Amino acid sequence: MEHVHDTRDPVRHDGAVNPDAVAGAPEAAGAGASGDDLDASGVPRHDVPAGGRSGFTLVQGRQVHYLQWGRSSAPPVLCLHGGGQTAYMYEELGGALAPSHHVLAPDLPSHGDSDSLAGMARTDIAATLPPLLGHFGLERVAVVGASLGGIVAITLAAAQPGLVAGIVLIDVGHRLEEEGVLRIIDFMSRQDSFASLDEAAAAIAAYLPHRKEIRASSLTRNLRQRPDGRWQWKHSYGRRLREQGDETAGDWRGVLAGLGEDAAGLRCPVLVLRGSASDVLSDEGAEEVAALIPDARLATVVNAGHLAAGDNPESTVGLVVSFLAELGW
């Protein structure tokens, strides 16, 4: 049974998941969430995106937080966020696709308000998705994946080609630039918690100086407040990096092992998007992965870095919409 919050009038439903309706209480209120992260009703705190729905469900015993937009009968699009991020990174895309598509954006394992996963290899994460899609009655989807989400999208399509109609890869490939990746690792591992949301906003602004505005109020989507009052990231990457030290930072290429072979075997159309100022995916890296994939096209998100969907959402949305139209999806 689902727990769903909707920005529209609620409609009662029973049985199978129906994203056009809104239902009652969670099967296990707050499962996997700490007591300080629960609201008065015992449900993990979360925001409801404009025009969308935010909910929790249990899949194979794990709590999954997800966002949805659109009608259940529309062509489905699965949106997978990057490492250290949450489903909310797709708020603009979800809203734009809502009139014509059913968009499902889960918090990946060990991220956001979803439960943790012991193994965080790309194959481990990808293996959680078919049961989730089956839970929502989705037999075939287009996938949009940013960074880690793109790696998982390739892995999913390689393992279950019949499940994936097409892929948009946002600033990711089988060959990434070490300097850019290590900059991400440094940011994620440097500070686990902040005294206030303003302090967190200042840290993010220093990391992303090209962003026009970092709103402290929006960071509750990525941070949870601990009993001691400090704000901690809603992902376990930074903690794992600090615990394992330089060994993990030096072994970051392990997540890419075999990815080139998987990409070369993809049977679906793929759009590779690169942020024009990305320090993670170079022009050459983008061209190489596009050349590997049998049915690929390459485009650039202008005025954007590695976090292209957030740096230039208008350009990203336009390119994704055009690709889906090309697919007839």
Calculate mean pLDDT across residues 9-22. 31
Mean pLDDT estimate for the chain? 84
The predicted structure's pLDDT at residue 219: 87
Gyration radius (Cα) of the chain, Å? 19
What is the average pLDDT across 226-235? 91
CA gap 277, 170 in Å, rounded: 13
Pick among 3.20.20.140, 3.40.50.1820, 3.40.50.970, 3.10.20.30: CATH of 3-177+252-327: 3.40.50.1820
pLDDT at site 218:
78
Determine the pLDDT at residue 46.
60
Residues 50 and 91: their CA atoms lie apart, in Å, by 8
Residue 168 forms beta bridges with which residues?
144, 271
Q: What is the pLDDT, as a whole number, of residue 226?
A: 92
Percent of the chain with pLDDT over 90: 65
pLDDT band at 258 (very low <50, low <70, confident <90, very high): very high
Task: Quickly state the pLDDT bin for 237 (edges 50, 70, 90).
Answer: low
Average confidence (pLDDT) over 252-276? 95
Confidence at 251, pLDDT banded by 50, 70, 90: low
pTM: 0.84
Q: Determine which of 142-156, 166-180, 204-218, 306-320 has the lowest per-residue pLDDT on average.
A: 204-218
Q: What is the pLDDT of residues 38-60, one digit of tens each?
A: 443 344 456 777 789 999 999 99
pLDDT band at 197 (very low <50, low <70, confident <90, very high): very high
- Model pLDDT, residue 191: 82
Domain boundaries, the chain: 3-177+252-327, 185-250
Return the closest-CA partner of residue 105 out of 163, 144, 73: 144
Residue 135 has pLDDT above 50, yes or no: yes
Q: What is the pLDDT of residue 235?
A: 83
